[in-house]
Amino acid sequence: MQPRFLPRAHLSTLLEKLHANGFITVAPQLIDDAILYRPIESVDKLPHGVSVEQQPGSYRILHHDDQRCFAWANGPQALKPLTFLPEETLWQARRDAQGSLVFDAPSRPPKPIAVLGVRSCDIAAHQLQHAHFLGGVTRDEAFDAHQAALFIIAVNCSHPAATCFCASTGDGPSCSGGYDLLLDELDEGFVVQSGSARGASLLAELPLQALTPGQSDATAAQRQQAAAVQSRRLPSRNLRAALFASLDHPRWQSVAERCLACGNCTSVCPTCFCHSEHDEAEMSGEASKHLRRWDSCFTTGHSYIHGVVIRASIAQRYRQWLTHKLGSWHDQYGRSGCVGCGRCIAWCPVGIDITEEATAICGEVAS
């Protein structure tokens, strides 16, 4: 369909229609001095007049006298915690009266969630997680149940942060698919278009207007500007060969001297999929849950095997993370595992910059 225009006053109508269609809407809000995606009841809760300044090791909220509510790049999380839950029960075991073990799958009743304000980088990351959890021989039932219930309302990124480099990875700042609805925010309202049949039928319920040539031009200019302002970049979209040819590079040691191995980067990374499995027995001893939690390759436990830690040094763990993210991901899923969201740069307590490290290790490889 042709893009149409939704006046700002009718953004609340979109929320009402989502509610009427049975969705819980999750949207960005200003909580604890960060943009967080949480269930929302009213458009008043959106981060109006908020912008975010991001630098290596820094994330700062700024307030403006402005109507816009999507004039920032991203927060620490977006879609990942909704589909790959930070903690989730995989199965439960119990002992019956005869002493037999019985295993039960958790029930995951469909909970349709509409997410408003999804960025292009996060859609790309979601597609990578989709490939990991649902590709291959084994489908991950938990991820499948959560992703099947998602309705994605993307908003093209108009204000990339200094840490953003999605233009260089090819994952943004404008969306090229993977959404049900797509919005571009202008001062007076939103340019909207659908990307799915579900999206189109929802749009049919909204009081849309024809797009003026001025609005159309402003949208195109804004998209172009959002790509043009990005200054960070990776040297190439495929660094696999360059990284694995540099396993003895001295930079691994120098980054290890700065890296705290805290795992912030893997926690905020929208594509990192590692998780550990745990068992929690009830105090009564009658049942025990088998659950998974996000894990990080920066922990010693990640590579532990019967008394041996394969990656005992931080240099080895940083190298594992980077050679996987930008290298062996190509073997696994046919592309790099980095979508250029820049979160690992902003949320690193010491401001380690993946683009800087990759460039130092791989050199300026032609893309």
Partner 1 sequence: MSLPHEAEVVERIEETSTIFTLRLRFTDPVIRGQYRFIPGQFNMLYLYGVGEIPISIVSDPLDAHMLDHTIRNVGRVTAGFAQLKAGDRIGVRGPFGRGWPMQQAEGKNVVVITGGLGCAPVVSVIHYVLRRREQFHRLIIMQGVKHGDDLIWREQYEAWSKLPDTQVLLAADQGGPLWPWRVGNVSMLFDEAHLNGYESVVMMCGPEGMMLASIPELRKRGVADEHIWLSMERNMQCGAGKCGHCQHGGHFVCKDGPVFALPDIAPLLGVRGF
Q: Are 333 and 131 in contact (CB under 8 A)?
A: yes
Shortest distance in whole angstroms from residue 252 CB to partner 1: 9
* Rounded Cα gap, residues 145 and 339, in angstroms: 24
Q: How far is the CB of 237 from partner 1 (least distance, A)?
A: 17
CB closer to partner 1, 214 vs 306: 306
Say how far apart CA 282 and CA 12 lie, in whole Å: 45
Measured CA to CA, the distance from residue 71 to residue 117 in angstroms comes to 11
Toward partner 1, which CB reaches closer, 38 or 278?
278
Residue 320 phi/psi, 5° resolution?
Answer: -60, -45
Work out how close the CB of 195 gets to partner 1 at its nearest, in angstroms, rounded to a whole number. Answer: 28
Instruction: Tell me, letter by letter, the H, E, C secondary structure of 2-46.
Output: CCEEEEHHHHHHHHHHHHHCCCEEEEEEEECCEEEEEECCCHHHC
Q: Which residue has the tokens 């109508």?
A: 13
The dihedrals phi and psi of 191, each to the nearest 5 degrees, come to -85, 125
Look up tokens 């006053």; give the residue: 9
Backbone CA torsion sign across 263, 269, 270, 273: negative
Smallest distance, Å, CB 181 to partner 1?
30
Looking at the Cβ atoms of 48 and 290, the one nearer to partner 1 is 290
Nearer to partner 1, 33 or 91 (CB): 91
* Closer residue to partner 1, CB minimum distance, 72 or 84: 84
Q: Rank residues 51 and 300 by Cβ distance to partner 1 and give the closer one.
A: 300
Instruction: Identify the CA nearest to 316 among candidates 337, 294, 300.
Output: 300
Q: How far is the CB of 345 from partner 1 (least distance, A)?
A: 22
Quote the least distance from Cβ 111 to partner 1, whole Å. Answer: 20
Residues that bind partner 1 (CB under 8 A): 90-91, 93, 95, 99-105, 132-133, 136-138, 140-142, 244, 247, 273-279, 281, 285, 288, 290, 292, 295, 297, 302-307, 310-311, 313, 315-317, 319-320, 323-324, 327-332
Closest distance between partner 1 and the C-beta of residue 65, in Å?
46
Q: Which of 7, 17, 4 is nearest to 205 (CA)?
A: 17
> Given the complex with partner 1, which of 171 and 295 has the nearer CB atom?
295
Query: What distance in Å separates the CA atoms of residue 154 and residue 116, rounded to the nearest whole number?
Result: 6
